[in-house]
Every structure is written in structure tokens, then in C-alpha cells.
Structure 1
Amino acid sequence: MEILEITGAALVLLGAIVLLIAAIGLLRMPDSYNRIQVGTKASTAGVALIMIGFALIVPTWFGKLFTIVLFVMLTNPISSHVLMRAAHRTGHPLTSGTVVDALKQDEENEKNDEHATV
């Protein structure tokens, strides 16, 4: 095996470990907001590590794998934002350890500003 293949295999293994730890973390998180955050960050990192590893193992796939990594890095944060916003709007409760609900404060400030200008 060459150095690139060994490094690529190590990155693929590391990405799989990151995804496994994230799966365990999903079960341990107290509310949907934390679960979405863990799933998003870990899946982005895990997929990126796996794709970079495959790119080192099979360099001819670099363009396709780079496109996949770019797509995941662009869409994961957007989709998690939309999911969290929908969860907040439908009234999913925050965990008791949550100190600040910034989105609720922003929405209340917007309502107060609207009433003040009317």
C-alpha cells in the first residue's frame, strides 16, 4: 500500500468513527434542537472525512467527491436551520438547561416594534 492509500483509509475510518459517535450522541441529547445540531455537525465532518479519504485512495474520483463534500457543506447548515426553526415555531420544548431562547426574544422584539410603529 502506498502512503496515500493508508492515509485515505485512515480518514475513511476516522469519518466512520465520527459518524458512530454522532449516532450515540443523538441518543443522549435532551431535546430536538441539540439532536439536530449534533447530527448536522457530525454528518458534515464525517462525510467530509470519508470523501477526502476516498479521494486519496482513488484520485480519479476527486472531482465527484469534491462536489459531494461541497454540496453537503452547503446544504447541511441550511437544512438544520430550517428544521430548528420549524421545531421552534411548532412549540417543541427546550430542555430545562437552556438558559436563553434568543429566537423567542427576537420574535417578541419584532412584535413590540410592530405595535410601536402602528
Structure 2
Amino acid sequence: MKSILLASLILFSSMTGAVMAQDKGVVEIVTMNLKDGVSVEAFAPVDKAIEDQHVSKQPGFVSRETAVSGRKWLVVVHWKSVDAAQASMDSFAKAPAAAKFMSMIDASSMTMTRYEANR
């Protein structure tokens, strides 16, 4: 009987942990290189337009920040859920500034990783 109770408690705690993890949110890390001939000064307002016109208006958006190192651009976006992050990505091409954004980066250098928030 004790082993059944213990197994039930372990199962419940693992299920609770999974639900709680879903509530913690998602951190999305995107890195990319600017194309040759594209300056940080030229790209920054286009990136800001993507944030203002698209990303920040998506359901589940929490925050976004960018950083640069040479020609490498970093974007960190916090989302309430994986579904919210994916929905934003799926609708990205429809954003008014998306074509200009994509024309200024080396798409083959782009990487995106999503992490479960640890808070």
C-alpha cells in the first residue's frame, strides 16, 4: 500500500511540475548575421519596426531585447508559452517590415532556440 501511495505521489508531483513548467514561459534566443554592406545603424530601425509592428502585438508576448557584436545580431524574446512563440513565428512573413528585415540579414546564419523559463 505504501508503494502505491508513493508511486501516486511521485506521478502527481511530476504532473504538477509539467504544468508549472508550462506556466513559467519561454525564452526564445535568435542569432543572425547582417549581410555584407548592411550596417548596424541601417538595420536597427528595421529591427525595431519588426518589434513595434509585429512581435510586441502578438498574444503571449512578454518582452524583447536585442544586442549586437560586430555583424552578429542577437534577439531575446520572452513569451508566455511555446504556442505563443510559434504563432508569432508562423505569422512573421505577414508583418509589414518582414521583407526588409529578411533582405538585410544572412538567412543561412539565423539560428533560433527556445528554452523553458526557469522562474
Q: What is the TM-score normalised by the length of structure 2?
A: 0.31
Instruction: Looking at secondary structure, tell me which structure has more strand per residue.
Output: 2
Instruction: Looking at secondary structure, tell me which structure has more helix per residue.
Output: 1
